[in-house]
Amino acid sequence: MLKFEIEKTSGLARVGEITTPNGKIKTPAFVGAATRGTVKALTFSEMRALGSQAILANTYHLFLTPGSKLIEEAGGLAKFSAWNAPTFTDSGGFQIFSLPDVKITEAGAKFKSYLNGDKFLMTPELSMQTQWEIGADIHMAFDQLAKSENRADMERAMNRTHRWLDRCLLEHENQKLLAKKNKKPEQFLYAVVQGGTFLNLRATSARYAAEKPVDGFGIGGVFTADGMDEMLKVVNQILPSEKPRHLLGMGQEPRDLFIGAEFGCDTFDCVGPTRLARNGALYTLDGRINIKNSKYKTDFSPVDSSCDCELCKNYSKSYLNHLFRTNEITGKVLASLHNERFVVRTVDKIRAALLSGDFESYKTDFLSRYYA
Ligand SMILES: [Zn+2]
């Protein structure tokens, strides 16, 4: 079983620590999006320096290239990428179901490689095998994302997700035995809770996952913070409190992090902060700014004077504006450093506020200023 120690709880929120074969994660924690085994525009030494504790890579992308067997040969993702710290992989489902020509049957999802047109059938078993080869500490079960918000479609996708979870578990157990035999470190499996915006489906899905011998839970198919508090309340009251929970793909908006932590999620991942950064959108305590705006041309103040990142300590908005206007790579690097530091630091502060009992006031102060 994955070791998860809870230090303090406050309502549904908890402060804890997950221990993986590649190190510990103090929770709540923001997990860096390393889709292809790298965080775009940042090196892993920069990620470590800004306080990142864990990364999440994408099974679909790594399956296509360089291939999970190669990563296994290199000693697993943490070693291959020289990250050498805790790693997650998602199941690949989200990307596959977002492809235009994907065909889904009970067996799995048929899709074509965007690289060379090769056809693949991704099954729950293949997703598990691939994730074991990639060698992340924490895997996500292969789930089906519904293509529409229609209730019947959502229920069908959820039921299939449950049947696929059982298949994932069987394969995970096979892989576990194999790893033991080959003296490979243990890897852990999270079930994924689906059900969209329908609270009764979310409850059904949480009950189904709660019964299974998994190490933790991913909460998937969440696209907006609207109604997320109610949904997480329903789900996390059902999920066993002693196992960790990961909110999949949320954290672009700082409020996602506050809602996620308050309603019982321990880790979050999102490509949003670095994607926004590459487009020149930077977080500040007073809300998001677009550094390309001409008003920053002669603004010699830092992006966020309270931020301790390399950008804010050394450079002005004017300089960053110049880098973006001239399309210099360094601009994207500095902006990514800042945004990633901003979300990591915000979650670290949420953790500290939960520990000191100041969460409510921190949340109110932060959100009223950010969304003023
Ligand atoms: Zn900064």
Instruction: Report the CATH number that the domain containing residue 181 is assigned in CATH.
Output: 3.20.20.105
Residues 269-279 have pLDDT tens digits of 999 999 999 99
Q: 145 and 163: one domain?
A: yes
Known active-site residue 269: yes
CA atoms of 366 and 361, how far apart (whole Å): 8
Please answer whether residues 280 and 250 qualify as being in contact, where contact means their C-beta atoms are separated by less than 8 angstroms: no
Q: 201 and 74 in one domain?
A: yes
User: Into how many domains does the chain fold?
Assistant: 2
* Annotated catalytic residue within 143, 215, 266, 269: 269
Last residue of a domain, one of 244, 270, 296: 270
User: Residue 336 Cα, ligand 1 centroid: separation in angstroms?
Assistant: 9
Catalytic residue among 90, 137, 143, 256: 90
Query: What tokens were used for 217?
Result: 């839970």
Q: Within this chain, do residues 108 and 125 fall inside the same structural domain, yes or no?
A: yes
314 lies in the same domain as 191 = no
| Omega cis (within 30) before 66 | yes
Q: Are residues 181 and 299 in the same domain?
A: no
User: Tokens 């908006």 label which residue?
Assistant: 253
The dihedral formed by the CA atoms of 61, 187, 215 and 139, expressed in degrees to the nearest 10:
0
Q: What is the pTM of this model?
A: 0.97
State whether 348 and 289 are in the same domain: yes
- CA of residue 261 to ligand 1 center, whole Å: 23
Residues sharing a CB contact under 8 Å with residue 336, sequence separation 6 or more, in sequence order: 39, 40, 41, 42, 273, 274, 277, 278
State the residue range of the domain holding 233: 3-270
pLDDT tens digits, one per residue of 116-168:
999 999 999 999 999 999 999 999 999 998 878 899 999 999 999 999 999 99
pLDDT of amino acid 92: 87
Q: Which of 264, 257, 249 is closest to 194 using CA atoms?
A: 249
Span from the CA of 42 to the centroid of ligand 1 (angstroms): 14
**How remote is the CA of residue 290 from the centroid of ligand 1, in Å?**
14
Write out the DSSP string of 193-233: E--TT-HHHHHHHHHHHHTS--SEEEE-----STTHHHHHH
Active site residue 153: no
Task: Say if residues 263 and 229 touch (Cβ distance below 8 Å).
Answer: yes
243 shares its domain with 286:
no
Digit-coded pLDDT (tens) for 314-363? 999 999 999 999 999 999 999 999 999 999 999 999 999 999 999 999 99
Give the contacts of 158 (CB within 8 A, at least 6 positions apart).
144, 146, 194, 195, 196, 201, 204, 205
